[in-house]
Structure 1
Amino acid sequence: MSRCEDPESRFKSWLDEHGGAVSKVARAYTFTNEDRQDLVQEILLQVWRSLPQFQGRAGAATWIYRVALNTALAWRRREHRRQGPRRSIVEIEDLSVAGPDGPQQALQREVVERLYVAIRRLPKTDAALVLLYLDDLGYRQIAEVLGISESNVGVKLNRAKRALSELMKEDSRGP
């Protein structure tokens, strides 16, 4: 992207390239499809409002992740105060492949849903770290987004993976 490019074109281009990342962040911080849609809109609004401050020191993906995570954390705090703790409603994104829904696709959707439920139970910074990792960002990009050192990313990521594994095991055993 050239720095001369108009903000609307830049925003549209970034939305095409990084819209999936915004959706993933929103999914990890919400329980319902309606909340997820609201948070996506809030994130996109913040990206638009913050666009004039983008100076190009970080890549577009890193910058958008940072805006998305900060917006999601603030949104979650506001919603938690406003509504109090909420129970998860099982909603699974469409992971279907062409053809009828078979047992393998149902199992895959169940595992993905359990993963997102477990991610929501992690501390906020660990959840953000896991999301960035699951989106195939490298340690350097994760460090830039979260404002920590690359070596700290490795240490925190290992701890978060262990915690996530334990949460997944607890979930599979049931109450």
Structure 2
Amino acid sequence: MKESEQQHIFNTWLSQYKALLFKVVRAYAFTEFDRDDLFQEITIQVWHSIPKFRHEAAVSTWLYRVSLNTAMRWSMKEKKHSDGRESIEGLPSAHPLLLQEQAPHNDEKLAWLYAEIALLSEVERSLTLLLLDGFSYKEMADLVGLTETNIGVKIHRIKKHLTTQSKKYEHYGV
């Protein structure tokens, strides 16, 4: 594949699927700097993986797979190296984010939902994001390597957990 063709595909995919990538980033990274870092990791992985794309799945499905796998690896790496580090969240940014989200997320309920998703295990986070984007149990099973039955059980538990938490949220007005 020529680099110019790869660049065209990359730019097209980033333009079309930026929201999907940000959704994964937001579920796995919790500070502006971490989101920037993870987004860059994902885009680098997408770039390197373009020649391996075999058109056996939809582009969105394939990008989810690349994004989720990258996010999970990044998350594990960050956990290993986070001990003893000081947060730099309050420092002024030396450079702007590679790409900014389309609109600021000031929606309190959406912020609550992302906070709850962040508390889930990595597999549960992945399944929740896939469910929110309308993936079928079969597609989810193919992406995360579980059986459809196992996906169904996990999704049921996630929904039950989030429903319980949302009732507390509404009751306490958090």
- Normalising by structure 1, we get a TM-score of 0.76
Whole-Å Cα distance in 2 between the matches of residues 129 and 65 of structure 1?
A: 11
Secondary structure, aligned partner of 2:29? coil
Moved over 6 A (4+): none
Kept after mapping to 2: 8 A contact 1:122/1:163: no
Aligned to 1:153: 151
2:104 counterpart residue number: 94
Distance (Å, rounded) in 1 between the aligned partners of 2:33 and 2:39: 10
Alignment partner, residue 163 of structure 1: 161
Q: Does 1:122 align with 2:120?
A: yes
1:44 shift after superposition? 0.6
Output the TM-score relative to the length of structure 2.
Answer: 0.77
Shift of residue 138, structure 1, vs aligned partner: 2.6
2:132 match? 134
Moved more, 74-83 or 162-171: 162-171
Point out where structure 1 has 5 or more consecutive residues left out of the alignment.
Answer: 96-105
Q: How much has 1:33 moved relative to structure 2?
A: 1.9
Alignment coverage as a number of residue pairs: 155
State the partner residue of 1:19: 18
SS of 1:6's equivalent in the other structure is helix
Is it true that 1:32 corresponds to 2:43 in the alignment? no
What fraction of aligned residue pairs are identical, expressed as a percent? 37
Instruction: Give the whole-Å Cα distance in 2 for the aligned partners of 1:35 and 1:68.
Output: 15
Render the CA deviation track for 1:120-143: whole Å, top value 9, x for unaligned: 111110111001111222323222
Does residue 28 of structure 2 align to residue 44 of structure 1?
no
1:64 correspondence with 2:74 = no
How far, CA to CA, are the matches of 1:25 and 1:74 in structure 2?
Answer: 13
Unaligned runs of 5+ in 2: 90-102
Report how far residue 171 of structure 1 moved: 5.4
Q: Distance in 2 between matches of 1:133 and 1:157?
A: 8
Deviations along 1:55-102, whole A, 9 cap, x unmatched?
A: 222221111101101111111111122114999x9xxx614xxxxxxx
How far 1:169 moved relative to its partner?
Answer: 4.5
Aligned to 2:8: 9
Distance 1:84 1:170, change over 3 A: farther
Q: Is the 8 A contact 1:139 1:150 kept in 2?
A: yes
Report the Cα distance in structure 1 between the residues aligned to 2:161 and 2:83, rounded to whole angstroms.
25
Deviation for aligned residue 1:170 = 5.1
Secondary structure at the counterpart of residue 164 of structure 2? helix
CA RMSD of aligned residues (A): 2.7
